[in-house]
Amino acid sequence: MLAGRIVRIARNRAGRKRFPPNADCGKLIHLLRGCCQTDREKLVQPLKMRPVLKEMVWGGRRLADLLGKLLPEGKPIGESWELADHPHGHSTVADGPLAGRTLRWLLENHAQAILGGRELARGAAARFPIFVKFIDAADRLSVQVHPDDDYAAAHHGGEKGKAECWIVLQAEPDAWIVDGLRDGVTRDAFAAALQQGTIEDLLTVRPVRAGDFIWIPAGHVHAAGPGIVLAEIQQNSDITYRLYDWNRPGLDGKPRKLHVADALETINFAGEEPDSGGTGRTANETGLLIEHLADCHAFSVSRIQLDGRPWAAETGGAYVALITLAGAAHLVVGGRTMPIRAGDTVLVPADASEYVFEAAEKLTVLAAAPPGKAPTQ
Ligand SMILES: [Zn+2]
């Protein structure tokens, strides 16, 4: 677990004011830097990612309103794949010397620098370990479940299982989620209810509001109801077993496919599930609040809130994905300063020793990293 620290001299040390604030001079320096940079210099900086947008039958338009996403006209956009290294979509570096490179390219060419030695040894170069999305559930999501690593390996060669977590960014006043089965529901009872179309009676439905954290281990039945925008951090897998789609047609007018047999094999009916592993809140007198939300076998996540004062954290030799939920700041990595605002996702390579927020206003950001690496205090 890593400790962050309040920074008083970050601007000097990070070199932000090294050059005079003259536009032409800045341009020239930028050009000179571009042709003289080594690969390592190109890498050790904040890598802002350009997402892949996904049209979904249940999607909406709030990723534009809330998070500044540029959405195609007239389409229901359900997901913004912020950090994606998957055959179904690859996010790319948005700007700087590596603009246009995919996350896959970064791993194929610079796995050690991006991931760090420990994650590289765990085989993470084959597929980036986490998958980060923003989700706009304008309509309700299907009731679904994801497999664990063992089931995924046995039935979907090369895929991981999926533990995931949600951080609710916005919710209508009466918003709800499906959060598991009711106590005592057996496999037989559930299978019968699926056949009879009565599973809604067997689900735990609970209200949610902005700021809530929801932990969804493999095998846990879940769905988001309508009117919710959330950030999702998950294992890098796109395997979803759909159990029930509220008798709703898909984008093509036909019911979407269900995966009942796999789902019944996957659902954890035993009632005992792994918890998120998060250790909770740490606040200090400098206006810093860190909530250590999750620390599972695949990733760790903390939510960091700053009140306008600068703050720095060490990477501990591991990648960190910074997902900006609200506010704005300057992020300094490897001597480079980048403005960030709500909706921006930035990958900090493992080779960077630290990342510094120079926040002129309030900032809320998620830090997602390998197990044990998200900041805790
Ligand atoms: Zn899910």
Which residues of the chain register pLDDT less than 50? 1, 7-26, 29-30, 32-35
| Closest CA relative to residue 345, chosen from 163, 93, 1 | 93
Tokens, residue 215: 């932990």
Do the first three CATH levels of 4-46+276-369 and 48-266 match, i.e. the same topology?
yes
List Cα–Cα distances, 158 to 154, 218, 237, in angstroms.
9, 17, 10
Among residues 242, 248, 256, 341, which one is catalytic?
Answer: 242
The reported pLDDT for the residue numbered 5 is 61
The reported pLDDT for the residue numbered 21 is 39
| Closest CA relative to residue 302, chosen from 217, 371, 375, 355 | 375
Active site residue 242: yes
The reported pLDDT for the residue numbered 276 is 94
Helix (H), strand (E), coil (C) string for 172-212: CCCCEEEEEECCCCCHHHHHHHHHHCCHHHHEEEEECCCCC
Region label for 285, one of left (φ > 0), alpha (ψ between -120 and 50) or beta (otherwise): alpha
d(CA 146, ligand 1 centre) in Å: 6
d(CA 253, ligand 1 centre) in Å: 23
Other beta carbons within 10 angstroms of residue 330's beta carbon come to 19
Other beta carbons within 10 angstroms of residue 62's beta carbon come to 20
Which option is the CATH number for 4-46+276-369: 3.40.50.720, 2.90.10.10, 2.60.120.10, 1.10.1060.10? 2.60.120.10
Largest CA-CA distance found in the chain, in angstroms, rounded? 72
pLDDT in tens, 23-53: 444 455 445 444 456 677 778 899 999 999 9
| Closest CA relative to residue 371, chosen from 116, 127, 150, 151 | 116
> 122: Cβ–Cβ under 8 A, 6 or more apart, which residues?
129
Instruction: Please answer whether residues 337 and 328 qualify as being in contact, where contact means their C-beta atoms are separated by less than 8 angstroms.
Output: no
d(CA 106, CA 36): 20
Q: Spell out the long-range contacts of 104-107 with Cβ–Cβ below 8 A and sequence spacing 24 or more.
A: 106/43, 106/47
In the block, tokens 């995924």 appear at 152
Residue 30: phi, psi to the nearest 5?
-60, -45
d(CA 87, ligand 1 centre) in Å: 18
d(CA 161, ligand 1 centre) in Å: 11
Tokens, residue 6: 């309040």
Alpha helices (H) along 232-291: 260-266
d(CA 14, CA 17): 8
pLDDT in tens, 216-238: 999 999 999 999 999 999 999 88
| Closest CA relative to residue 82, chosen from 321, 327, 370 | 321
In the block, tokens 């789902």 appear at 263
Number of residues written out for the chain: 377
d(CA 34, ligand 1 centre) in Å: 41
Q: Taking the domain 48-266, which CATH number applies?
A: 2.60.120.10
d(CA 259, ligand 1 centre) in Å: 14
Chain-centre distance for alpha carbon 299: 10
Domains of the chain: which residue ranges? Answer: 4-46+276-369, 48-266
**Global pTM value:** 0.88
